[in-house]
Structure 1
Amino acid sequence: MNRGLRTFLTLSVLTAVLIGGTYYGVRLLFADAPELPDADAVSSCRNRTLEPGEQLATNQVSVNVLNAGGRSGMANRTMINLEGIGFIRGTVGNAPADTRIANVRVVARDPKRADARLVGAQFKGKVQYTKGTPEDEASVAVYIGSGFKGMKKTPVPAVKAKTRFTMCAPVAPAV
């Protein structure tokens, strides 16, 4: 095949790819967005009962992290670290202005439950446990105080349930 014919074929193929890609891109650009599922119809968690002795892993617990200290960004950094060891991201933000905490406070429906103990086991120093209801569908809320000592270098991947309890375990979204 001579050089001129090969150049012509190469340019023809490249032109066809350019035209096809442009056509496809313009169609995608002006296409209707897909429908989102109704938030009320689809829950992001499902009730799961754990029996005494069953393991509860980090990927079964959703966590909200709120900053009650003076250092900006602590809640977000802590959430990133918790996600890195498997916890499911909940809300990140600031605690109410009048919230005073020394190190870390874990708020859960039952502070002795496995989900609260698993989250609390990730932190250095004294961890306070308080009974309460976290926002959203999170299992546990973590308040980071002004004297936050940080997270342990070696994470605790799971704990055993001491008592029977039912929790709302996160469900992986359908793809």
Structure 2
Amino acid sequence: MTSAFRAVVLAVAAAVFVFGGVTGFRLLTSSADTAEPAPTCTNKTVKKGEPLDSNLVTVNVFNASNRSGLANRVTINLQTDGFLGGTIGNSESATKPNRVAILTNDPRDPRVRLVARQFKDKVTYREPDITVEDGVIVIVGDNYSGLRSKAPTRITSDREITACVPTVLP
């Protein structure tokens, strides 16, 4: 190698080192750019007499059986029919259904009625003794037998309902 070539290589290496050092120092000492958090959902209102679709109903499923992963499987099957998946887990409720129970203060709520129609089993209703943020609370027991095929995925609402539909970010 010639000494002129070595000098050029050394000059380029020095320029890269200085540029990297300056850029690194600026990044290290700059303030974080924080943006307003984007909304996680958009409110959608269904008026009395309008159809309420399954894609506006969040379902929280809890397992009160000895079958591992049952709540997760039920949630996946409900999501296949368009329902929104909510909380999934083992039940901490005192309600221990043989098949299926829905915890609600209002069994006539259109969301509850639509979810209840999904099950092959007769659904029992109990007062809620566990709390979730939003949606219908379903508890499945040891003798749960599955969802109905071709169950309805919409119902006419007998009241105004506002649902928070998750926002899909690009």
Both structures adopt the same fold (TM-score exceeding 0.5): yes
Q: Which residue of 2 aligns with 1:81?
A: 77
Percent of pairs with identical residues: 32
Whole-angstrom CA distance in 1 between matches of 2:103 and 2:162: 15
Paired residue secondary structure (1:123): coil
Q: Which residue of 1 aligns with 2:43?
A: 46
Whole-angstrom CA distance in 2 between matches of 1:131 and 1:50: 26
Which runs of 5 or more residues in structure 2 are unaligned? 1-32
Is residue 2:161 matched to residue 1:166? Answer: yes
Residue deviations 1:118-146 (CA, integer Å, cap 9, x gap): 11100012101234375023x21111012
Q: Which residue of 2 aligns with 1:136?
A: 133
Aligned residues: 137
Whole-angstrom CA distance in 1 between matches of 2:121 and 2:164: 28
Residue deviations 1:35-78 (CA, integer Å, cap 9, x gap): 6864xx83535262421x21111101111110011111110000
Paired residue secondary structure (1:100): coil
Q: 2:39–2:167: 8 Å Cα contact kept in structure 1?
A: no
Q: 1:128 to 1:167 in 2, by over 3 A?
A: farther
* RMSD value, Cα: 2.5
Q: Which residue of 1 aligns with 2:17?
A: none
Paired residue secondary structure (2:152): coil
Amino acid of the structure 2 residue aligned with 1:50: K
Give the alignment of 1:17-166 within 5 angstroms.
Answer: 38=37, 42=39, 44=41, 46=43, 48-51=45-48, 53-96=49-92, 98-132=94-128, 134-137=131-134, 139-161=135-157, 163-166=158-161
Paired residue secondary structure (2:86): strand
Whole-angstrom CA distance in 1 between matches of 2:88 and 2:71: 6
Paired residue secondary structure (2:77): helix
Amino acid of the structure 2 residue aligned with 1:42: P
Larger radius of gyration: 2
Moved more, 102-111 or 139-148: 102-111
